[in-house]
Structure 1
Amino acid sequence: MKLTDTCIDCLLSRVVMECELVSADKACTERTVVSCRDLLASLKGSSLLHPQIASAVHRKASQMIKNPDPFRELKAAGNAQAMEVCREVRGSLGTFRDVVLASVIGNTFDYAVKDHEVTSDFSRFFAGEFEKGLDVDDTDRILEKCSRVVYLTDNCGEIVFDRLLVGFLKARGSHVTVAVRDGPILNDATMEDALALGFDKVADLLTTTGGGSEIGLDLAKMPANLAKAIDECTIIIAKGMANFESLHEYRNMPPIAYLMCVKCEVIAGITGISRGSKIALLRERDQT
Structure 2
Amino acid sequence: MGSGPARGEWLRSRTRRTGPRALAAGRVDGRSRTAGERGRMKPLPGCLPCILHQTLQVARSVSDDEWSQRKVLNEVLRALPDAEWHQSSPAELLADAIASARGTLKVRAPYADLRAQVGEVFAGLAEDLRARAGQEADPFAFLVTAAAAANLVDELVFARFARKDPTQVFEQALAQGFAVGSVDVLRETVERAQTVVYFLDNAGEAQIDALLVEHLRGLGKTVFVAVRGGGLLHDATPEDALAAGLAPPSTADPAPASPGDAERGSPNDGAPVFSEPGAEQTPESASDDPAPRALPWLIELPFGELGVSAVARSTDLGAALERADLVLAKGSANYETLRADRECFFLLRAKCGPVAASLAVPQGSLVLHHVKAPEARASEPASV
**TM-score of the two chains, using structure 1 as the length reference:** 0.91
Q: In structure 1, what residue type is equivalent to 2:298?
A: L
2:154 aligned with 1:110: yes
Greater Rg over alpha carbons, structure: 2
Show the counterpart of 1:18: 58
Alpha-carbon distance between aligned partners in 1 of 2:354 and 2:157, rounded to the nearest angstrom: 11
From 343, 358, 381, give the equivalent of 1:255.
343
**Cα deviations across residues 78-97 of structure 1 (Å, max 9, x unaligned)?**
11101111222321124111
2:182 aligned with 1:138: yes
From 29, 34, 41, give the equivalent of 2:81.
41
Q: In structure 1, what residue type is equivalent to 2:218?
A: A
3-state SS of paired residue (2:374): coil
Per the TM alignment, residue 51 of structure 1 is displaced from its structure 2 partner at its CA by 1.8
Alpha-carbon distance between aligned partners in 1 of 2:89 and 2:172, rounded to the nearest angstrom: 35
Query: 1:268-287 alignment to 2 at 5 Å?
Result: 268-287=356-375
Alpha-carbon distance between aligned partners in 1 of 2:45 and 2:308, rounded to the nearest angstrom: 22
Would you say the 8 A contact 2:108–2:231 is kept in 1? yes
Per the TM alignment, residue 117 of structure 1 is displaced from its structure 2 partner at its CA by 4.1
3-state SS of paired residue (2:60): helix
Alpha-carbon distance between aligned partners in 2 of 1:239 and 1:257, rounded to the nearest angstrom: 9
Show the counterpart of 1:170: 217
3-state SS of paired residue (1:207): strand
3-state SS of paired residue (2:201): coil
How many residues align? The count is: 284
Would you say the 8 A contact 1:11–1:54 is kept in 2? yes
Per the TM alignment, residue 211 of structure 1 is displaced from its structure 2 partner at its CA by 2.5
Alpha-carbon distance between aligned partners in 1 of 2:53 and 2:316, rounded to the nearest angstrom: 35
Greater mean alpha carbon deviation, residues 105-114 or residues 151-160: 105-114
**Cα deviations across residues 87-124 of structure 1 (Å, max 9, x unaligned)?**
22321124111001111111011159979547752332
Show the counterpart of 2:302: 211
Using a 3 Å threshold, how does the CA distance of structure 1 residues 114 and 198 change in structure 2: closer, same or farther? closer
Alpha-carbon distance between aligned partners in 1 of 2:173 and 2:315, rounded to the nearest angstrom: 38
Greater mean alpha carbon deviation, residues 253-262 or residues 108-117: 108-117
3-state SS of paired residue (2:81): helix
Q: In structure 2, what residue type is equivalent to 1:183?
A: G
3-state SS of paired residue (1:231): helix
Alpha-carbon distance between aligned partners in 2 of 1:166 and 1:45, rounded to the nearest angstrom: 35
Per the TM alignment, residue 45 of structure 1 is displaced from its structure 2 partner at its CA by 3.9
Greater mean alpha carbon deviation, residues 175-184 or residues 125-134: 125-134
Using a 3 Å threshold, how does the CA distance of structure 1 residues 120 and 142 change in structure 2: closer, same or farther? same
Show the counterpart of 1:245: 336
**TM-score of the two chains, using structure 2 as the length reference:** 0.69
2:325 aligned with 1:234: yes
Alpha-carbon distance between aligned partners in 1 of 2:162 and 2:369, rounded to the nearest angstrom: 23
Per the TM alignment, residue 183 of structure 1 is displaced from its structure 2 partner at its CA by 1.6
Task: Give 5+ residue unaligned stretches, structure 1.
Answer: none
Q: CA RMSD in A?
A: 2.2
2:157 aligned with 1:85: no
Would you say the 8 A contact 1:13–1:114 is kept in 2? no
| Runs of 4+ with deviation above 6 angstroms | 112-115
Q: In structure 2, what residue type is equivalent to 1:18?
A: V
From 103, 106, 116, give the equivalent of 1:63.
103
Greater mean alpha carbon deviation, residues 12-21 or residues 133-142: 133-142
* Percent identity of paired positions between Structure 1 and Structure 2: 26
Show the counterpart of 2:279: none
